[in-house]
Amino acid sequence: MSRSQSLFAIHLVAICFGICGILGELIQADATIITWGRSLFAVMTLAVFSRVAGVSRGAGVGVASRWRALLLSGAMLAVHWVTFFVSVKVGGIAVATLGFASFPAFITFVEWALLRERVSRAEWLRLAVVSAGLVLVTPSFSLADRGTEGLLWGLLSGATFGMLAVINRRSLSGMDAFRVAGAQNVIVFVLLSGWVMPHLGEVTVASWLWILVLGVVCTGLAHWLFVSSLRQLPARTAGLVVSLEPVYAIAFAWLLFGQEPSLRTVIGGALMIGAIFSASLAIKNAP
């Protein structure tokens, strides 16, 4: 992908991720079953994509460090998805997506504190603006509210996704995007199979159809686009763009379920969009 194509792709990823919260609400199944089915259909989708794109099957993973990175990233992906859907079930779509959208902060902290990468003042400022937007969009921070538990699950989902983004960029960027996304989803499938298999009969046909959409569109396609975009975009910038997810999720909830956002939500979303467009322009205009 070119730099402009990567920016477009990462915005499509944000839309797909925004739909995930809606599907998580619609699917009547446990979070582990949703995640397991999602990874299964994603693997099938990526296999089709790789055949169409003519990706060679012969190239291996390579050195042991890449195997370790793949295993770790797959485990991070499994935890991220399970905790996200737990957050949706416990705290609702808005709380879950807002908690997940915290992951740019985790990316920045890991790259700055652990990897010793330089973070510019402009990046810190954009992160601060996005954080302020999230505070405004968040409906309640009351500890007595059940949404607090959902928010904590959402924050854990954001933290593990941030780690996944850093691993993809630092250790797996030299691998084909199809192979990376496919391997990570296979790892998720294998890790959760033991918990899920005894309960598959409890899932309705309607829920399986929604899981199919989740796996094919919001996972197989979106995951490949995300991994591909990291070859041209810094993880921090990609994280800022994907943090639009709660804005899309709230917009979809408004259109589909009549859940009209408050003025605070609109202002917070505007702050986030402004910061993200600023990051996109900075990448596009960079030499």
User: What is the spatial distance between Cα 97 and Cα 116, in angstroms, rounded to a whole number?
Assistant: 29
What is the phi-psi region of residue 61: left when phi exceeds 0, alpha when psi lies from -120 to 50, beta otherwise? alpha
Supply the Cα-derived Rg of the chain in whole angstroms: 18
3-state secondary structure of 251: helix
For residue 37, pLDDT beyond 80:
yes
Token reading at 119: 């973070």
Kindly indicate the confidence band of residue 99, based on its pLDDT and cuts at 50, 70 and 90: confident
User: What is the spatial distance between Cα 155 and Cα 149, in angstroms, rounded to a whole number?
Assistant: 10
- The average pLDDT across 222-243 equals 76
Kindly report the CA angle at 54 between 48 and 56, in degrees rounded to 5?
A: 100
Encode pLDDT of 176-228 as tens digits: 777 888 899 999 999 999 999 999 999 999 999 999 999 999 988 887 787 77
Helices (H), the chain: 3-26, 31-53, 64-91, 93-100, 103-109, 121-137, 147-171, 177-196, 205-215, 222-229, 235-242, 245-257, 263-284
User: What is the spatial distance between Cα 189 and Cα 104, in angstroms, rounded to a whole number?
Assistant: 26
Report the pLDDT value the prediction gives residue 126, as an integer from 0 to 100.
81
Report the pLDDT value the prediction gives residue 116, as an integer from 0 to 100.
73
DSSP result, 208-223: HHHHHHHHIIIIIIHH
Report the pLDDT value the prediction gives residue 283, as an integer from 0 to 100.
60
- The average pLDDT across 21-26 equals 91
- Lowest-pLDDT range of 6-10, 44-48, 262-266: 262-266
Q: From 60, 72, 17, 6, select the one nearest 243 (Cα to Cα).
A: 17
